[in-house]
Amino acid sequence: MAAVFISYRSTDHAEAERLALDLRLYGHDVWLDTWELNIGDSVVQKMNDGLTDAAYLVLCYSPNSSASPWQEREWMSALHRQVSGKDVKLLPVRLTGGDAPAILADIKHVDLTADWDEGVRALVAAMK
Protein backbone atom coordinates (compact mmCIF):
# COMPACT_ATOMS: atom_id res chain seq x y z
CA MET A 1 0.00 0.00 0.00
CA ALA A 2 0.95 3.65 -0.29
CA ALA A 3 3.07 5.78 2.00
CA VAL A 4 0.91 8.28 3.89
CA PHE A 5 2.18 11.37 5.74
CA ILE A 6 -0.16 12.58 8.48
CA SER A 7 -0.05 16.34 8.99
CA TYR A 8 -1.79 17.62 12.10
CA ARG A 9 -1.62 20.13 14.93
CA SER A 10 -0.05 18.74 18.12
CA THR A 11 -3.21 19.56 20.08
CA ASP A 12 -5.01 17.05 17.84
CA HIS A 13 -2.49 14.26 18.43
CA ALA A 14 -4.93 11.72 19.89
CA GLU A 15 -7.27 11.95 16.89
CA ALA A 16 -4.39 12.00 14.38
CA GLU A 17 -2.88 8.90 15.97
CA ARG A 18 -6.26 7.17 15.89
CA LEU A 19 -6.49 7.94 12.18
CA ALA A 20 -2.92 6.74 11.60
CA LEU A 21 -3.68 3.45 13.38
CA ASP A 22 -6.84 3.01 11.29
CA LEU A 23 -4.90 3.60 8.07
CA ARG A 24 -2.29 1.04 9.14
CA LEU A 25 -5.10 -1.48 9.64
CA TYR A 26 -5.92 -0.95 5.95
CA GLY A 27 -2.29 -1.75 5.11
CA HIS A 28 -0.87 1.71 4.52
CA ASP A 29 2.66 2.71 5.53
CA VAL A 30 1.94 5.71 7.76
CA TRP A 31 4.37 8.47 8.75
CA LEU A 32 3.37 10.12 12.03
CA ASP A 33 5.89 12.38 13.75
CA THR A 34 5.66 10.73 17.17
CA TRP A 35 6.29 7.33 15.57
CA GLU A 36 9.23 8.47 13.45
CA LEU A 37 11.16 11.04 15.49
CA ASN A 38 13.73 9.86 18.01
CA ILE A 39 15.91 11.77 20.45
CA GLY A 40 18.74 13.41 18.51
CA ASP A 41 16.95 13.33 15.13
CA SER A 42 16.75 16.40 12.98
CA VAL A 43 13.04 17.25 12.91
CA VAL A 44 13.39 19.06 9.59
CA GLN A 45 15.32 16.20 7.95
CA LYS A 46 12.92 13.51 9.18
CA MET A 47 9.90 15.53 8.03
CA ASN A 48 11.52 16.13 4.66
CA ASP A 49 12.22 12.41 4.27
CA GLY A 50 8.63 11.56 5.20
CA LEU A 51 7.21 14.13 2.80
CA THR A 52 9.51 13.06 -0.03
CA ASP A 53 8.50 9.41 0.27
CA ALA A 54 4.76 10.06 0.69
CA ALA A 55 2.27 9.28 -2.02
CA TYR A 56 -0.42 11.00 0.08
CA LEU A 57 -0.39 13.84 2.57
CA VAL A 58 -3.39 13.65 4.83
CA LEU A 59 -3.99 17.20 6.07
CA CYS A 60 -5.92 16.96 9.33
CA TYR A 61 -7.53 20.25 10.14
CA SER A 62 -9.50 21.40 13.14
CA PRO A 63 -10.26 24.63 14.96
CA ASN A 64 -6.72 24.28 16.39
CA SER A 65 -4.84 24.04 13.09
CA SER A 66 -4.97 27.62 11.82
CA ALA A 67 -1.95 28.79 13.82
CA SER A 68 0.44 25.90 13.08
CA PRO A 69 3.48 27.00 11.05
CA TRP A 70 4.83 23.41 10.85
CA GLN A 71 1.56 22.08 9.50
CA GLU A 72 1.37 24.91 6.99
CA ARG A 73 4.85 24.04 5.70
CA GLU A 74 3.88 20.38 5.36
CA TRP A 75 0.75 20.90 3.30
CA MET A 76 2.30 23.71 1.24
CA SER A 77 5.19 21.41 0.36
CA ALA A 78 2.75 18.68 -0.71
CA LEU A 79 0.62 21.14 -2.69
CA HIS A 80 3.71 22.43 -4.49
CA ARG A 81 4.74 18.87 -5.38
CA GLN A 82 1.20 18.07 -6.58
CA VAL A 83 1.01 21.20 -8.76
CA SER A 84 4.48 20.41 -10.13
CA GLY A 85 3.26 17.03 -11.33
CA LYS A 86 5.02 14.98 -8.66
CA ASP A 87 3.50 11.78 -7.29
CA VAL A 88 1.76 13.10 -4.19
CA LYS A 89 -1.89 13.75 -3.52
CA LEU A 90 -3.13 16.11 -0.84
CA LEU A 91 -6.16 14.74 1.02
CA PRO A 92 -7.82 17.20 3.42
CA VAL A 93 -9.54 15.68 6.44
CA ARG A 94 -11.82 17.51 8.87
CA LEU A 95 -10.58 15.90 12.04
CA THR A 96 -12.53 17.65 14.78
CA GLY A 97 -14.18 20.57 12.99
CA GLY A 98 -12.93 23.84 11.58
CA ASP A 99 -12.32 24.89 8.00
CA ALA A 100 -9.64 23.94 5.50
CA PRO A 101 -7.13 26.64 4.52
CA ALA A 102 -8.73 28.94 1.94
CA ILE A 103 -6.38 27.84 -0.84
CA LEU A 104 -7.64 24.26 -0.42
CA ALA A 105 -11.35 25.14 -0.29
CA ASP A 106 -12.00 23.67 -3.75
CA ILE A 107 -10.54 20.26 -2.84
CA LYS A 108 -13.12 17.76 -1.61
CA HIS A 109 -12.42 16.72 1.96
CA VAL A 110 -13.28 13.81 4.24
CA ASP A 111 -15.34 14.71 7.31
CA LEU A 112 -14.49 12.50 10.29
CA THR A 113 -16.75 14.53 12.59
CA ALA A 114 -19.94 13.14 11.07
CA ASP A 115 -19.05 9.42 11.04
CA TRP A 116 -15.46 8.41 11.84
CA ASP A 117 -15.58 4.90 10.34
CA GLU A 118 -17.32 6.01 7.15
CA GLY A 119 -14.83 8.87 6.82
CA VAL A 120 -11.89 6.51 7.16
CA ARG A 121 -13.37 4.21 4.52
CA ALA A 122 -13.82 7.19 2.17
CA LEU A 123 -10.22 8.26 2.79
CA VAL A 124 -8.90 4.76 2.08
CA ALA A 125 -11.00 4.61 -1.09
CA ALA A 126 -9.37 7.86 -2.25
CA MET A 127 -5.95 6.21 -1.89
CA LYS A 128 -6.56 3.55 -4.54
Question: Which residues carry out catalysis?
Answer: 74
Q: How many CB atoms lie within 10 A of CB 101?
A: 17
Ramachandran bin of 21, using left for φ above 0, alpha for ψ from -120 to 50, beta for the remaining angles: alpha
Distance CA 24, CA 28 (A): 5
Taking every pair of Cα atoms in the chain, the longest distance, rounded to a whole number of angstroms, is: 39
Nearest to 88 by CA among 117, 125, 59, 121: 59
